[in-house]
Amino acid sequence: MNKPLINDTFLRACLRQATPHTPVWLMRQAGRYLPEYCATRAKAGSFMGLATNVDYATEVTLQPLDRFELDAAILFSDILTVPDAMGLGLSFAQGEGPRFASPVRTESDVARLQVPDMNKLKYVFDAVSSIRKALDSRVPLIGFSGSPWTLACYMVEGAGSDDYRLVKSLMYSRPDLMHEILKINADSVAQYLNAQIEAGAQAVMIFDSWGGVLAHTAFKSFSLQYTTRVLSQLKKEHEGQVIPRIVFTKGGAVWLDEMADMDCEVLGLDWTADLSAARHRVGGRAGTPGKALQGNIDPNVLFAPAQAIEREVVDVLESFGKPHTDISCSGPTHIFNLGHGISQFTPPEQVKVLVDTVHAHSIKMRANNS
């Protein structure tokens, strides 16, 4: 029923298949750095007004694709829709971050917590269907969710935090309660992502944005274990197509060996990672198993002049090295991205330099037979 994708480089690279160029998309590519996004948001009145309105969500998801030659679209939404559907009362005050009216801090708060009725998140799945239709097979659509641990951080802190004192106090004092929260979060995230897949998401990404604040052993028990629980429940195919799963732990480069065994197709990395070493450790060789790698340029590069952006993009591409080009088997592939969401202060014309350089240089690398 669906037309074949016009540009399927992103999905092919997720599955470690050879592509003519290195696909590129940007975390938070539909965002405040684009004047057209700000105009739509002004019409919507608020961030949640934007996220819950299917037409507006569709409009802003497609905006960056009209400006830049991006190889994937990502659903416009927020990672906190799931705890909001659990009844914690999400709001975004002007100029501030997200806030929950009813944070989860006590034994009785945890006892009340449940996997939310997915009907409360229907606006998200409707947006996915609407965006798929609007994309008209130009590029694939990525669905996403926060990781169980990252959602728990917001649910316990009640807002952003710079020291994670409340959530870590609970974790160290009452690990039993924390595990209970994380189990519910994992099962909720799995249902949420599966519903996005059914609505048309062609790949899904789990944002473990705060996994990197955990201590070494706590990361395994409180983050990795529950991301794994999500992955084990996800649909691997939909309508005959494999649905690649991307896991991104900000600050997680130090635990690459621990993450190598996860049952997912793609690992996202931030800029602290050495892509060459990461490819060696988890990328696999042509014809052997491994994971595709996604990342990892510092978004602050986009504040430099064009020539410096070109130099830094080339450095990141060359640090991964030439992707495999053998169409008869799978092998190491790279999906270019930032190591974190794009800054609201980014000049849009610099984004064009980045995207165009990724394409031009990665084509050149493939032509080079050395």
Which residues contact a copy of itself by CB under 8 A?
162-165, 168-169, 172-173, 212, 214-219, 251, 253-255, 271-274, 296-298, 300-301, 303-305, 308, 312, 315, 319, 339, 343, 345
- Nearest approach, Cβ of residue 289 and a copy of itself (Å): 24
Annotation marks residue 154 as catalytic:
yes
Q: Concatenate the DSSP letters of all residues of 213-233 into one string.
A: GS-HHHIIIIIIHHHHHHHHH
Q: State the catalytic residue, choosing from 12, 33, 37, 41.
A: 41
Structure-block tokens of residue 352: 């064009």
C-alpha to C-alpha distance for 173 and 167, rounded to whole angstroms? 10
C-alpha to C-alpha distance for 76 and 31, rounded to whole angstroms? 9
Nearer to a copy of itself, 194 or 337 (CB): 337
| 90-92 and 141-146 strand pairing | unpaired
C-alpha to C-alpha distance for 40 and 52, rounded to whole angstroms? 13
Count CB-CB contacts under 10 A for residue 21. Answer: 21
Contact 146, 79 (CB under 8 A): yes
Structure-block tokens of residue 192: 């949420």
Q: State the catalytic residue, choosing from 32, 174, 285, 366.
A: 32
C-alpha to C-alpha distance for 296 and 310, rounded to whole angstroms? 15
Nearer to a copy of itself, 162 or 261 (CB): 162
Annotation marks residue 28 as catalytic:
yes
Respond yes or no on whether the N-terminal peptide bond of residue 296 is cis (omega within 30° of 0): yes
SS3 content of the chain, % helix, strand, coil (to 5): 50, 10, 35
Annotation marks residue 126 as catalytic:
no
Q: State the catalytic residue, choosing from 71, 78, 208, 270.
A: 78
Count CB-CB contacts under 10 A for residue 75. Answer: 26
Nearer to a copy of itself, 54 or 273 (CB): 273
Annotation marks residue 192 as catalytic:
no
Nearer to a copy of itself, 45 or 160 (CB): 160
- Nearest approach, Cβ of residue 252 and a copy of itself (Å): 9
Nearer to a copy of itself, 250 or 359 (CB): 250
Question: Which residues are CB-neighbours of 330 under 8 A, at least 6 positions away?
Answer: 15, 16, 17, 284, 286, 287, 324
C-alpha to C-alpha distance for 366 and 37, rounded to whole angstroms? 35
- Nearest approach, Cβ of residue 16 and a copy of itself (Å): 23
Q: State the catalytic residue, choosing from 37, 154, 192, 226.
A: 154
Nearer to a copy of itself, 136 or 163 (CB): 163
Question: Which residues are CB-neighbours of 80 under 8 A, at least 6 positions away?
Answer: 90, 98, 100, 146, 151, 154
- Nearest approach, Cβ of residue 345 and a copy of itself (Å): 7
- Nearest approach, Cβ of residue 69 and a copy of itself (Å): 23
Question: Which residues are CB-neighbours of 45 under 8 A, at least 6 positions away?
Answer: none
Nearer to a copy of itself, 165 or 236 (CB): 165
Q: Concatenate the DSSP letters of all residues of 159-185 into one string.
A: B--SS-HHHHHHHHH-HHHHHHHHHHH
Residue with tokens 């938070």: 28
- Nearest approach, Cβ of residue 70 and a copy of itself (Å): 22
C-alpha to C-alpha distance for 279 and 269, rounded to whole angstroms? 11
Q: State the catalytic residue, choosing from 8, 12, 16, 28.
A: 28
Annotation marks residue 12 as catalytic:
no
- Nearest approach, Cβ of residue 290 and a copy of itself (Å): 20
User: Which residues are part of the catalytic machinery?
Assistant: 28, 32, 41, 78, 154
